[in-house]
Amino acid sequence: MNLMIGTDPAGKGGIASVITVFMASGFLQQYAVRYLCSHAESGLLKKLVLFVRTGAELIKYCIFSRPCIVHVHAASHASFIRKALLLAVARSFGCKTIFHLHGGGFKRYVTEESGAVMQAFVRATLERSSQVIALSDQWAGFLCQFAPKAKVMVLANSVVLTDLCDGSNEQDGRILFLGRIDAQKGIFELLAAIALLKPTYPAIKLIIAGEGDFASVQYNAQALGIAACVECLGWIDNEQKAQELQKACIFTLPSHAEGLPMSMLEAMSAGKAIVVSNVGGIPSVVHHQISGLLVQPGQVAELAAALGQLLGDKALRTQFAKNARQLIEDHYSSCSVLDRLALLYDDLSGITSV
């Protein structure tokens, strides 16, 4: 048997979406993987209790079931520390370990927010793992530079292919943002860009879905005179997400930092024209002026120009959407990506492919 540890699959955020794909694909059943939830959206005390319980479960399985592989999904800060401690426990029992890195803030966390002691701890965790998984070549390059002895491989996020949006419900001027509502996701530059576009495209509508600082969004929208153009939905489930993707003519995520955002892959899979930032693993997926438009983070005028280019050219949107969907089918569907993870599991388990 094997163990996988991460956040609540029914929770919110990109890691939960990744876990959901793993489960839906049948990968966990195929490789006898038992999933342990080490984190959930709750108060601090409940989070601590859940982590301790997960640690106890890990020890129990290591003693009585002797798992071959322990595979953790982690991001930065507390997420990293929790998973690093669990991996240390797994290694003490002789398990092979996989550290699967998510989130766009890891480089900043390591290089700017961590002192020498924490940097040494992070480096040791990476280098002692049997395998480190990065979401893109860019992230793999950073990890290899920071932890030269780490064994790093690239495994992109993937999506379960769904029906292509046929465009029958698409609304001109409707722009969809899916992500956490904070400054690092570029939400305030996006509001400023909408304000620049409103005189030219009076029917423009920005739909914001996710959790975060809605009060600041509403305040800024009011100050910019675009409150009537902005709709905040809060967190939405997969069914609502599919409906919003059907209605949107453009998806945008102008983040300052990213790993490889699941919401972007989902939008591309649905056949949406996208405008996204040239950060993290995004440029390894999105080919500028072919499968979408890339912009520099924090540049309001550039973001507005890119959105305006697509708003004013339906044929271009259609072509980008077609190319994006084909790209997902060819390289980022769950079937093709998880085949590579299966090879890793076989290798760590000592299984030789015929």
Q: Which domains does the chain show, CATH number per domain? A: 2-159+333-349 (3.40.50.2000), 174-332 (3.40.50.2000)
User: For position 161, what pLDDT does the model report?
Assistant: 84
Angstrom distance (rounded) from CA 100 to CA 120? 19
- Label residue 319 by pLDDT band (50, 70, 90): very high
pLDDT over threshold 90, residue 229: yes
Closest CA to 313 of 345, 275, 269, 354: 275
- Label residue 41 by pLDDT band (50, 70, 90): confident
Percent of the chain with pLDDT over 70: 98
Strand positions, DSSP E, 171-245: 174-178, 205-209, 230-234
User: For position 251, what pLDDT does the model report?
Assistant: 99
Stretch 293-322: mean pLDDT: 97
pLDDT over threshold 60, residue 233: yes
Residue-wise DSSP of 114-161: --HHHHHHHHHHHHHSSEEEESSHHHHHHHHHHSTT--EEE----B--
User: For position 300, what pLDDT does the model report?
Assistant: 98
Give backbone dihedrals phi and psi of 81, rounded to 5 degrees, phi first: -60, -45
Q: Contact at 8 Å (CB) between 265 and 286?
A: no
Local structure of residue 183 (DSSP, 8 states): G
pLDDT over threshold 70, residue 304: yes
- Label residue 103 by pLDDT band (50, 70, 90): confident
Residue 207 identity (one-letter amino acid): I
User: For position 354, what pLDDT does the model report?
Assistant: 46
83: Cα separation from own chain's centroid: 18
Angstrom distance (rounded) from CA 71 to CA 4? 5
User: For position 163, what pLDDT does the model report?
Assistant: 67
The pair of structure tokens assigned to 246 is 């059907």
Please write the tens of the pLDDT for every residue from 115-152. 999 999 999 999 999 999 999 999 999 999 999 999 99
Angstrom distance (rounded) from CA 324 to CA 273? 8
Please write the tens of the pLDDT for every residue from 57-93. 999 999 999 999 999 999 999 999 999 999 999 999 9
- Label residue 353 by pLDDT band (50, 70, 90): low
Angstrom distance (rounded) from CA 352 to CA 354? 6
